[in-house]
Structure 1
Amino acid sequence: MQLLFRKAITPLLVAASLTVAGCSGGGSESASNNVTPPVTDTSSITWTKGQFTPYAEIALQCKADHTGSELTEKLWLRSWSNDTYLWYDEIFDRDPAPYTVAQYFDLLITDELSETGNVKDKFHFSMPTDEWEQLNQSGASFGYGFNLSLRNASAGVTRQVTITYSEPNSPAVAAGINRGAIIVAVDGVNVANADDSASIDTLNAGLFPTQSGKQTTFTVRDLNASVDRNVILSATTVISTPVQNTQVIQTASGKIGYLQFNSHIATAERGLFDAITTLSEADVEDLVLDLRYNGGGLLALASQLGYMIAGDTATNNRIFERTSFNDKYRTIDPVTRAILEPTPFIPETIGFNTGLLRAGITLPSLNLKRLYVLTTADTCSASEALMNSLRGIDIEVIQIGGTTCGKPYGFYPTPNCGTTYFSIQFKGVNDKGFGDYSDGFVPTSSPTLDSEIEGCALSDDLNHALGDTNERLLSAALYYRDNNQCPALTSSAAKVSAAPTMMDKGFMLKDDRNSTLLKNNRIMSTGAM
């Protein structure tokens, strides 16, 4: 076992216990499931500008069970943010009295912009703790089982909703709704022509259900169909299958593995283990990793996958990611209180879900020197960390597709009073010290910046199935492998579109469900250090 992994395993397990126990963090070194926060008399606690009660002292003092009040919940959020938020000194310290707990949390965030003028913190949210635990452990969320590409209306651009993929055994698959199908209307409201708030609300409510049993009528135009059809779907708990489409592609120049990886959730550990085992036994010479819809998740899974791609020799005692917190915590982790150690490339199973895969099994590996990655703007966070960390140990990464979302940041999910909060607490750099990609990794044939990666800038191809060698991104990866250059563009549609201008944000389709927000992040949880 790698020395660096041995050194890191103790804080890994501490992080796991903190999350499973549902503790508030609060700086305690204990990882017991029975940890009780100190009892503090909250009757006299008030807000005083610039003064902060240690958040461990007011944790789990909640309005619902009469152990506290809305004020103590808000003051806990304030103190927790002041202690652990990466940009804590950019939060305006305002009186929480006029706000609900949820409203106050939304204000505990920097208003600053990045160096390039973009919003600095785009990843600040919360969700009910039971929902977070269900989603993380099982991949379950409410919906119909399809993933969507949203093209919002802007100057010269028509609004369009297209299916990118459907989950196996979901209502969408049962109704024959597959990749490339266009949703023409939702409950009678035309997607392209909706031009008032009520219509947009109907579209959003139908496309992004928040409760099981909601029935919605969709007018669908299937790929290559000339007529539309109506389908009634009922929202249900959909179990995500994060690893799909593992295949060995036979070419004249050798065997190439292909793997569609949609989310770094706990159940993916088993899927990745099986997929890489299959590809290793087939003795593939290269891998095309399809991350185009992978918004991130558990950082430890990205580390494990990095090991499985590069192998023991390339990763031995090398750093997957070095994590840094705010300037109050230069040497220790503010949540686990462990001495900060770099995250290694993890060479064995962690057992996120022991019903699927137990801990301590040596991971399979491909021992590759390069990786082809398929990306879009939905490729985010832990997926970007994987790309960055492999580059940090001189594994050649070739990027095919669109610019990634740009999130070198992450957090510990932190529960209090039935709600789990997600607030940026750390940033990460690779073995070479690079982590400045807040505007995403950019594929280009002539990279000049560290955030630019050799490859081909191409738009997603929704007219072919994922894993089809004729699909634009996969086809380009195969072409690049044989010719060391990008294929000639056959149409303007293949080019990555510029960001839309003059968009009316009041008329935007937007999936702001907790489960979707959660996908687009890197998470220190259940051993993910």
Structure 2
Amino acid sequence: MNMGRTILPSIVALSLAACGGGGGSGGGSTPGPGTGVTPTPTPPPTTGTCSYSSRAQFVRDTLNEWYLFPELLDLTVNPASFTDVQTYIDALVAPARAQARDRYFTYITSIAEENRLIQTGSNAGFGIRLSYDTAANRVYVLEAFEGAPGFAAGIDRGTEILSINGTSVASLMASGGANAVSDALGPTQAGVTRTLTFRPLGGTDQTREITKTEFSLDPVSDRYGVKLLADGAGGQVGYINLRTFIVQDAGPQLRAAVAQFKAAGVNRVILDFRYNGGGLVSVAKLLGDLLAADKTGQVFSRTVLRPSKSSENETDLFAAQPEAIAATRIAVIGHSGTASASELVANAFIPYLGTGLALVGANTFGKPVGQFAFDRSACDDRLRAVTFRTVNRDGGGDYYTGLASVMPRTCAAGDDFLRPLGDAEEASTKTAVDFLAGRSCTPITAGGGVTAQGAGDRYRLLQSRAPTAAQRENPGLF
């Protein structure tokens, strides 16, 4: 989110770290659009501005003042025992992590990199989202971004990556697991070239030299992002695949999508968030508004800070939007990469739709907390610190283990990456349509249901060991 109040998650080895926009300079954090919260942290030291000791002191002072769980902050940790700011942060918040309250959600990142991502969606890479088969040591493409070099080379959903620079994926997985594959793909920088051998879905093996370039993360795909699907009973349902909440252009695209539904008289909607790690709260709030024409003035969500910062608490109300519809049933497609702002939208509708709302697919990551941005522009440092939690109208918001435990209905379904996203026969999409049409489904189990190809937790998102801002918000992106 481009705001002081932010929910932007990241997954590292399936551990999520949320983040968000912000801005400002020095030690401050400036809110973005749609929030009245403007943190005023303790000013940073003025000497040795970018030395490790100065940066560590700034982190400690800021967390001591603002961290959502002050009782779970270990201030006895000696910063001199570390040489890396992130490692020191991890030690400070270790008690909260042990209770699954802060799973790498507090971190240091680059102001310039994150702002560029929020404002333009620009990112360097192949533009493909990857998963790996934990049982068979194979790597598959879940999604390809249009305008990126991977898609231009013929790589799309369902493609299997066979080798990287002549080394087979099977041998990489056998020797070093998913990390070895991530490392072999190289740093996330424009100009990095790799020779990939891959097998397109239904095609023959190909070998291409592909160079990472800058590309834009289009929040709603022009190919499959918005659809009207038949419900099998003579009606239609609206389908939106939102890849990320982090890019500001998501707002206009969502307006256009819901305007299509309104023109078609559609009031039952599928929100496909299966790989959506979160993003701007302002975009989440807008999406809520667009689906709640009949709820204007009622509570969308509440933002709750630690007791000493309760004066910063906020309540967001549904606002009227010209494109809005009054959704009567909503199916949220989620999987392990679904987090933060994605979960916020689903949670907001629980008090209003009841059993007319369902989580389809598998359990989500579980991130009901968000961060403020605390900037030191001289060092290009942005501290993303967990500072608030969000709850719905009725105070519900403790889904640290995922949404499956709090949603009125759940329907287990696989992520069938052998079919295109938005395909009416793709497992999760088909199950979502069935739910909206009133047909029965199998609930998600305590273990989370099925994640891909009906194989339980066999398929997992591949993560970079040193994620960029874009990779934090888009799990599996390379």
Offset, 1:509? 5.3
Asked if 1:186 corresponds to 2:164, the answer is yes
Aligned 8 A contact 1:248 1:255 in 2: yes
Question: Matched residues in 2 for 1:433 and 1:492: separation?
Answer: 29
Q: Which of 138, 142, 145 pairs up with 1:167?
A: 145
Distance 1:341 1:299 in 2: 13
Answering whether residue 318 of structure 2 is matched by residue 345 of structure 1, we say yes
Amino acid at match of 1:246: V
Deviation digits for residues 333-387 of structure 1 (CA, Å, limit 9, x no counterpart) = 2xxxxxx22122244xxxxxxxxxxxxxx44112112111111111111000000
Tell whether 2:94 aligns with 1:105.
Answer: no
Measure how far apart 1:71 and its partner are: 2.2
Measure, in 2, the Cα distance between the counterparts of 1:459 and 1:477: 11
- 2: distance between equivalents of 1:463 and 1:284? 28
The aligned length equals 435
What are the within-5 Å matches in structure 2 for residues 132-281 of structure 1?
132-151=114-133, 153=134, 157-194=135-172, 203-207=181-185, 209-225=187-203, 227-244=204-221, 245-251=225-231, 252-265=233-246, 266-281=248-263
Q: Take 1:307 and 1:488, find their aligned partners in 2: how far apart are those partners?
A: 28
Query: Secondary structure, in 3 states, of the residue corresponding to 1:405?
Result: coil
In the alignment, what sits opposite 2:469?
A: 515
Gaps of 5+ in 1: 1-10, 13-17, 32-53, 334-339, 348-361, 443-448, 522-529
Structure 1 residues 129 and 197 mapped into 2: Cα distance closer, same or farther (>3 Å)?
farther
Query: Of 298, 312, 325, which aligns to 1:366?
Result: 325
User: Following TM superposition, by how much is the alpha carbon of 1:413 offset from its aligned partner in structure 2, in angstroms?
Assistant: 2.1
CA shift for structure 1 position 150: 2.9
Is residue 2:274 matched to residue 1:292?
yes
Deviations 1:299-330 (A, max 9, x none): 1211110110121x22x22222111112322x
Shift of 1:69: 4.0
Gaps of 5+ in 2: 6-20, 34-39, 445-449
1:296 partner amino acid: G
Question: 4+ residue runs of structure 1 moved beyond 4 angstroms?
Answer: 112-115, 195-202, 491-494
Change beyond 3 A, Cα 1:185–1:280: same
**Structure 1 residues 127 and 181, CA gap change in structure 2 (3 angstroms):** same
SS of residue in 1 equivalent to 2:259: helix
CA shift, 1:223, in A, is 1.0
Q: Cα gap change, 1:160/1:199 in structure 2, threshold over 3 Å: closer, same or farther? A: closer
Q: Using a 3 Å threshold, how does the CA distance of structure 1 residues 323 and 422 change in structure 2: closer, same or farther?
A: same
Paired residue type of 1:475: K
> Superposition pairs for residues 461-472 of structure 1, below 5 Å?
461-472=416-427
Aligned to 2:434: 479
- Three-state SS of the structure 1 residue aligned to 2:330 is strand
Higher gyration radius (CA): 1
What TM-score comes out, normalization by structure 1 length? 0.75
Q: Say which SS state the counterpart of residue 192 (structure 1) adopts.
A: helix
Contact 2:267 2:326 in 1 (8 A): no
**Is this contact kept in 2: 1:310–1:369, CA < 8 A?**
no
Q: Distance in 1 between matches of 2:330 and 2:470?
A: 27
| Counterpart contact for 1:189–1:199, Cα < 8 Å | no
- Greater relative contact order structure (CA < 8 Å, 6+ sep): 2
Q: 5 Å matches for 1:404-443?
A: 404-416=364-376, 417-442=379-404
TM superposition score normalised by structure 2: 0.82
The 8 Å contact of residues 109 and 121 in structure 1, kept in 2 or not, is answered as no
Deviations 1:191-214 (A, max 9, x none): 223257678665213436321100
Q: Deviations over 1:420-462 (max 9, x none)?
A: 12121111110011011101012xxxxxx5x244131112001
Name the counterpart of 1:356: none
**CA 1:68 to 1:189, structure 2 compared with 1: closer, same or farther past 3 Å?**
closer
Post-superposition shift, 1:519?
0.9
Could you list the per-position Cα deviations for residues 377-436 of structure 1 after superposition, in whole angstroms to 9, with x for gaps in the alignment? 111110000000011333631221010000001001221221112121111110011011
Alpha-carbon distance change, 409 to 298 in structure 1, aligned in 2, over 3 angstroms: same
What RMSD in Å do the two structures reach over aligned CA positions?
3.2
Structure-2 change in CA distance of 1:57 and 1:454 (3 Å) = closer
More deviation, 131-140/282-291: 282-291
Q: Distance in 2 between matches of 1:62 and 1:430?
A: 44
Verify: 1:21 aligned to 2:43, yes or no: no
State percent identity of aligned pairs.
26
User: Which of 40, 56, 59 in structure 2 is aligned with 1:74?
Assistant: 56
Q: Secondary structure at the match of 1:432?
A: coil
C-alpha change, 1:289 and 1:342, in structure 2 (3 Å) is same
Is 1:332 matched up with 2:311? yes
* 2:428 counterpart SS class: helix
Amino acid in the other structure paired with 1:373: V
1: CA distance, partners of 2:150 / 2:50 = 44
Q: Distance in 2 between matches of 1:20 and 1:496?
A: 42
Secondary structure, counterpart of 1:21 in structure 2: coil
What's the CA shift for 1:160? 2.3
Q: Tell me the secondary structure at the aligned position of residue 414 of structure 2.
A: coil
In the alignment, does 2:451 pair up with 1:495? no
Q: 1:478 to 1:199 in 2, by over 3 A?
A: closer
Q: Counterpart of 1:183 in 2: which secondary structure? A: strand
Q: Does the CA-based 8 Å contact 2:102-2:386 persist in structure 1?
A: no
In the TM superposition, what is the alpha-carbon distance from 1:125 to its structure 2 partner?
2.3
Could you say which residue in structure 2 is the equivalent of 1:385? 344
